[in-house]
Structure 1
Amino acid sequence: MDNKTRRESTFAHKKQMEAPLTWEAPPYCEIIDLKENYYEEVLRLIKHHYLKEDPMCRSVNLLKDHESKQQYLDLIKIWMKDSTSLIAISKSSGRVIGTIIARINSLLDKTNTYSRVQIFQGKALELIMSLKSALVLQADAYSLFEVDKYLRIYILCVHPSYENNDLGAELLFSSYQVAMSLQLVAIAGIFTSAKNQKTASRVGFKKVTEIKYSTWIVNEEIVFNNSGIGNYSAAFMGKITPDENCQEEILESRRRFWEQEEENKKKHKTKNRNNCGNFLYVTTFHRKTDFFSSDYVLSGMTPPKHFRCDAIQ
């Protein structure tokens, strides 16, 4: 092998090593490891959606506290470098539509972020981290799972356009694939909204402990008093990862689910002209409700007031 061929081979090997791993994903997206070239796009997604919509961030007006906002984003960027985070990329647009920021927490690691609340600058961030620190201590995950390290989820963020596509659940599922690949027997995280708590429950996470927002009082004031409808607590949730014997069975079940979903879409999605003026009547099957829903597209008229969707028999 001459020098030129050797260099080309070395370069190709390096590129292959640097390429992100691809995880099992639904047909509309790819789920891959988060690499540095996506950091800025992921930070924008988090800034525009997570920091804006998260119950704790919203309650303390974190986006209006420039010092807190910037330090939180800097902290998230540090978490990203642990190479255990994931992103979902839309196959149609190529844009990042979701992310899960995770890192390994070790009992021997004395630099645990939430044990150093006092180093944070910015009042809003300090208020958030103080509650999360209390939750971590309360949960005592190392004793609970009888481990010296586990995969910790720090942020789960999905673009609003994909919240009804179970993308949050898909990212969580892929994260415990990551945990299994790293031979970690447990995965856990703090979920601050009812929506994310429900999503975590659906993929097998159990609530270990929680703190009600109404009970977190500083200087005789409830700190998180604007958490939004239905968001009553921050919860530490976790689960034991499946053993190797179960892993392939779970993946195969997941693939069959996606295949069935695609078949349902092809079978039930029809487009035809209805008798209601110029409406284009679209019937689409929704797996969550097992109902047909009707959308009226671009007509300049309003849809009929009385329309009943028939359940699938």
Structure 2
Amino acid sequence: MSRRLRIEEEKAKQLKDELQEEEDKIKLQQERIFGPLVWRRLQNGIKIQDLQELYFEKAIDLVLSAFVQEDVLFRNTKFKDDSASIKSFTSRLIYKLNDRASIIAIDDDNDGFVAGVLILNPVQKCDFGRVYSRTMLVEGEAYRGITDFMNYINRKVDVFQQCNCDIYLRYYLLCIHPEYRGRRLGYQMMMVGLDIARHLNIPIAMGVFNSYSLQKLARKIGIDQTLFEYQYVKWADRNGGLVFCDPGAGNYTCNVMVGVVPPPPEPEAPPEPEKKEPKGKSTRADKKKAKSKK
């Protein structure tokens, strides 16, 4: 191979490497722009980030496998045995997730395992209509019974009027994987919900909390005003039979609760540098004493 040809090949290789490097930079920038926003990193290796479409299926699987087994409404209506209800509920979840306000907890130390899901929905006064909730196609006897109850609860409260706001952030559904409970992950995700509300300039947070544990958690983060409370023993079917026969220990009511989104916490002040006392001039005698000690 001639020297000239070798130089041309080296130039071509260098140009190819430069183009590849430029493409890698552009790809990295796109990933930063369109990648999920990580809201919080916990010490146990879990990160809380935006729930993007990539994780929709895993999030729904977690809700269907864990949430519906334990939630008061779903557990008491035999939802898990009604395939039509499951299909209808899944469609509703996908609709809610498309609001792009929900978050997901991922365990980086466990191959990206989905540890929790919090579905959030900004609700604007101009777009709000109770008609949608009542007329949206609901299939399955079990899910129809759940939506009838929730529609009754929602009709009892006008958050916009009672809180004097044009928009609020609704905590729609919180689900933590059983293996990750007892680590305050639910609390951390609920707190991130307030961060999202601040990010979206939403002044009010709201939720329909149907268990004592969720009500307690809501109060802990500042969603502590109860606008409406309904006792489960009052809800009966068409024949007058009790629907919620086993709400669980402490779960006596379903509460509509709201709270004002607080301002962000002030950053901690940096520690003040230690003041060092100025050293006096040492005499010859001091130097001799220091030398003798050595």
Task: Provide the residue aligned with 1:203 in structure 2.
Answer: 221
Matches within 5 A, 1:62-141: 62-93=79-110, 94-110=112-128, 115-117=133-135, 119-141=137-159
* Preserved contact between residue 31 and residue 87 of structure 1 (Cα < 8 Å): yes
1:32 and 2:61 matched: no
Aligned partner of 1:240 in structure 2 is 260
Q: Which has the higher contact order (CA 8 A, sep 6+)?
A: 2
Question: Are residues 176 and 112 of structure 1, via their aligned partners in 2, closer, same or farther at CA, if it must alter by over 3 Å?
Answer: farther
Secondary structure of 2:127's counterpart equals coil
**What residue number does 1:287 align with?**
none
Q: 1:32 is aligned with what amino acid? A: Q
Q: Distance in 2 between matches of 1:133 and 1:58?
A: 18
How many corresponding residue pairs? 248
* Aligned AA (1:58): R
Quote the offset at 1:111 in angstroms.
Answer: 5.5
Structure 2 length as normaliser, TM-score? 0.78
Greater mean deviation of Cα atoms: 6-15 or 121-130:
6-15
- 1:15 match: secondary structure: helix
When normalised by structure 1's length, the TM-score is 0.73
**Alpha carbons of structure 1 residues 38 and 179: separation in structure 2 relative to 1, 3 Å:** same
Partner-residue secondary structure (3-state), 1:92: helix
The offset of 1:161, in angstroms, is 2.2
Q: CA-to-partner distance for each residue in 1:112-137, whole Å, 9 max, x for gaps?
A: 58632563111111111122122222
Judging by fraction of residues, say which structure has more strand: 1
Q: Which moved more, 1:100-109 or 1:223-232?
A: 223-232
Identity %: 27
Partner of 1:179: 197
CA distance in 2, matches of 1:194, 1:139: 20
- Runs (5+) with no aligned partner, structure 1: 254-313
- Write out aligned runs for 1:1-313 (5 A): 10-28=26-44, 29-93=46-110, 94-110=112-128, 115-117=133-135, 119-206=137-224, 207-219=226-238, 220-243=240-263, 247-249=264-266
Q: Distance in 1 between matches of 2:131 and 2:90?
A: 14
Q: Distance in 1 between matches of 2:204 and 2:98?
A: 21
Query: Deviations 1:13-41 (Å, cap 9, x if unpaired)?
Result: 33222211111243121100101111111
Name the counterpart of 1:261: none
